[in-house]
Structure 1
Amino acid sequence: MPETRLDTARIRAAREMIDPIFLDTPLYRCEALEPGLGCAVSVKLETANPVRSFKARGTELVTSALAAGGSRAVVCASAGNLGQALAWSGRGRGLDVTVVASRFAPAAKLDRIRALDARLELVDGDFDLARERAAGIARYEGIRLVEDSLDIETCEGAATIGLELAGAAPSFDAVLIALGGGALATGVGHVVKDLAPGVEVICVQPAGAPAMTLSWRQRRVVTTETTDTIADGVAGRLPIAAVLDDLLQVADDAVLVQETSIIAGMRLLLDHAGLVVEPSAALGIAAILEDRDRFAGRHVVTIVCGGNVDPDAYRRWTGPAARES
């Protein structure tokens, strides 16, 4: 493997620190999806756990180490899913958890963070402003700041998904991974390239939040002034250089998809797989819809990374009125 911050031996060891409830999530071929997509599609279902996303694999590593070291408090910025995961993992280990989020984040995600006994602070801005505020709290209170994708635990926790994919049978030709800050893509990509190097690693990001994809293409950090996407979980503006370096070593491609394709992907997953997913989790299906010829005749795995969606917004995207428009 080329040099990255990630280590496969350490990722194998990480499985022992993660609550088994988050491991070995369902992986199955979903034949009902295939007529509309023109390829064999397997789904890795990371919503089948108490926080309905993959993020707890990483927060389990963070909070295990903090509790073992005697720490009592931790703070993070979150678009919603990391905050829920950190609150869940921290509560189980007696940690005081603070989550900073945008007040414009989906209400369902914010309500769940509160329900998990975390202190929630809202900012009048986007995720990257929340990152700044969380860093300020960490400095002022002298507590651990968890930075998604920068902290190696968040990447190597996500990478345990890669171990499960690499050990699957039958094998597959490509894995489609939602790309935001990069923890999921770098983690899974690292393990896949190490253990199944013939598998194509394709990262997928909304065209309305393209910063990491543009950075990957130009091999340097590219920032954007704003984001405009319903996929709030991947809507960052400021890529992290160290994470980009890791991504450059493992991603075969990074593609951008349109909002209409994301919504169409959510509908397909609902209608043909019975899955209620948030927009970020439909990015892989969106990528197939936009480039059927690329995937024709291949076996593709898509990681359904989160299912924390605002019910009212979901109905607008997938309900009868939306389908008629």
Structure 2
Amino acid sequence: MHSHHASMGIKSHTKFMLGIIYFCYCVYGNFLALSSVVAFGANIICNKIPDLVPKQRSICQRRPDAIVVVGEGVKLGIQECRYQFRNMRWNCTHTRSRNSMFAHVHLVPNREAAFSFAIVSAGIAYAITQACSRGCDKSKLPNYSHNGWKWGGCSADVKYGLSFARNFVDIREITKNARALMNLHNNRAGRKAVKDNMVTECKCHGVSGSCTMKTCWTTLRPFRMIGNHLMRKYQTAKLTRVIRGSRTLRPIFLILKKSKRQNRKPRRSDLVCLEKSPNYCDYDERTGSLGTVGRKCLRESKQTIGCDLMCCGRGYNTHQYTVTVQCGCKFYWCCYVRCEKCSNKTEEYTCK
């Protein structure tokens, strides 16, 4: 009985601590206020997060405030992944560890895994940079330039966001084998996408609307732009293999499988994989494929969302139903609206 009450107490305490974290995050918008609040509960919180490696737990215990942002970044990455693949057979779903922050690590090393690692890494870097946006990038202090503008305002400190994301995400790759090299490369490509999609915004200053001086600052673009960028990289993902180097610092590294030049390395911005992708038509736990049975499709479309391609030739079921909506609404003076009810018959198609 005593142990039962102790267990219930720990669970209640954990929920209470997570509630405080979420409250501070929503109210204050930054995480400086969290450090003193959550420090005493860090061990409990960090031990409750599944799939963290020991060094990640150590970071979590030192910076439990930042782990909240990491979680937001992972969520941001997964949501963007699901958006980008919403009309494809593989729609960013995973067969294992669906409740894990790092469910994507179970995917086989194909280009879908490449995108998953890149977008989650980008999401974490983006979230950390955004959370720290109330601080400023110290490298862009006011400094006049030759062309009449100066850095001002508050530039997003993307360097810190990239650095924290690299330290937290890349630390998972303990064994330096082919898969680890692939993951590290795609993690970096995701972070690079955040950096490359930063934008400079400027404001003019001068008499009567003239632009005698401009104040400029760097800021994050919408994450959708980063998702679109990485989706283009996914479509040209490079198949790679590992070779052994002669230097002790880099005993193995990735090279392109198909290249006219010998031992050509992929670009830093490329997404890379080690295996070709399956067709994702059927359930296969090993490849992370849930299959397309029951997926909605469009009967007339020739794209991936079309029933012919989505259903892999198995055919589709037709569902007819009626939707009732308000229509013909009229405003009467004064003061009410009267509407009619209209019924529309519609069809929906799902894969067999």
Scaled by the length of structure 2, the TM-score of the pair is 0.26
User: Between Structure 1 and Structure 2, which shows a larger proportion of helix residues?
Assistant: 1
Structure of higher RCO (CA pairs closer than 8 Å, 6+ residues apart) = 1
Scaled by the length of structure 1, the TM-score of the pair is 0.27
